[in-house]
Amino acid sequence: MTNSPAHPRPLEGGCQCRAVRFRLPIQPPLLTALCHCRSCRRAHSAPAVAWALYAHGDVAFSGEPMQVYESSPGARRSFCARCGTALSFEADYLPGLIDIAIGSLDEPARLPPQMHSWDEERLPWLQTAVALPRHAAFPPMA
Ligand SMILES: [Zn+2]
Ligand SMILES: [Zn+2]
pLDDT tens digit sequence for 22-48: 999 999 999 999 999 999 999 999 999
Strands (E), 10-139: 12-14, 20-23, 31-35, 49-55, 60-63, 67-72, 75-79, 86-91, 97-101, 116-117
CA–CA separation, 53 vs 99, rounded Å? 4
- pTM (2 d.p.): 0.92
What protein residues have CB closer than 5 angstroms to ion ligand 2? Answer: 35, 37, 40
Q: How far is CA 87 from the centre of its chain?
A: 6
Report the pLDDT value the prediction gives residue 142, as an integer from 0 to 100. 80
Q: Which ligand is nearest to the CA of 89?
A: 2
Report the pLDDT value the prediction gives residue 5, as an integer from 0 to 100. 58
